[in-house]
Structure formats: structure tokens, C-alpha cells
Amino acid sequence: MSAIAIKVGRKKQSEKRQSLIESLWDKETLDSTPIWNRLKQDGYTTLPRTMPQIHAIMDVLAEKGKPLSGVYLSLWCNVFDEGFLEVKDKERFAFEAGFSGQRAVTTWLIRMKKLEELGFIKSKEGASGPFNYLLLVNPLSVIKKVYETRPKDQLYNALIGRMSEVGAKFDE
């Protein structure tokens, strides 16, 4: 399918959604409701539509009671298109991931180490210590590699289903 055909198809889908919205809510409600629009708002990031499935798999791969998804989401919300992130303030990242108190940064560092062991990130030390410089690896590539050595389960199958719905592929 050509790029033009894809763009036309997306526009048609957008028009269908807008029509449905307008048929479900009255004009007054729509005019008075501040709806998020990534094309008009600043401060957004590109997020894979498969992120919920990625997070579910990631948390199963982590040790029981030590989920990784909050830490990973915080990283994702701070990264730019190059997949590179400089972590200058570990306290802020620990807080964003939901950790507080005296052990917040220590807990964050332990989860970061697990993310790196699983292959979701690559890191280099810097002036701020470990995990100062990060590369976020394509999570679909990581999951594909993980499932080469383990049985395909419900979470993996759900990911494959969602990938099919949104047109995502492992090797991109």
C-alpha cells in the first residue's frame, strides 16, 4: 500500500471517529470538555499502542512483587526520538516511577539493573553514576528474543493480536 493510500485511510478513520464522537455527545459538552490532542498540545511523546501488553510481559519477566513497568514508562516519557536518555536526577526518576523514602533511588537502581539484564535498556556510567546514559531498545525486539526460549503464553498471544490490529512488526 502506498504512503498516500495509508494517509487517506487514516484520514477516513479519523473522520469516522469524529462523526461517532459528535453523535454520542452534544456540541455543548464537546465545546466545554478539554480533550487531549497531541497535535495541539506540547509535552507529549510517541507511545507504542502495544505498551500495555509490553508492560504486562515486562512485569511477568520481573521478580514477583518487583514490577518494572512504572520505571520503564517513566523512561519512555523522558526519551526523545533517538532512543537516548541522559539521567541527571535519579531522585526525580525514582519518584516518577512511584518510589519514595530513603530507599527510593536504591529501589529504582535495582529495577534499572533488571531492565538492562532483560535487554530493554543499555546503559553507560557517567558523572551521575550508573545509568547516567541510556538507550531504550525496541521492546518488541526484546520480547521476540525472550520468547524464542520460552513457550508462547497468553500475554505473548495478546501482544501478537494487538500488533496485528495496529500494524506493528517485530523487526522494525
Q: How many domains does the chain have?
A: 2
Are 26 and 98 part of one and the same domain? no
The stretch 66-91 carries a mean pLDDT of 94
Question: pLDDT: is 121 or 42 the higher one?
Answer: 121
Are 149 and 101 part of one and the same domain? yes
What share of the chain in percent tops pLDDT 90? Answer: 70
Are 61 and 108 part of one and the same domain? yes
Q: What is the CATH number of the domain that holds 117?
A: 1.10.10
pLDDT band at 1 (very low <50, low <70, confident <90, very high): low
Are 18 and 57 part of one and the same domain? no
Domain range for 10: 3-32
Q: Strands across the sheet with 84-86, in order?
A: 84-86, 129-136, 121-126
Are 87 and 162 part of one and the same domain? yes
The predicted model scores a pTM of: 0.84
pLDDT band at 122 (very low <50, low <70, confident <90, very high): very high
pLDDT digits 0-9 by tens, 140-172: 999 999 999 999 999 999 999 999 999 999 875
Q: Which residues contact 34 (CB under 8 A, 6 or more apart)?
A: none
| 15 assigned to some structural domain | yes
Are 56 and 20 part of one and the same domain? no
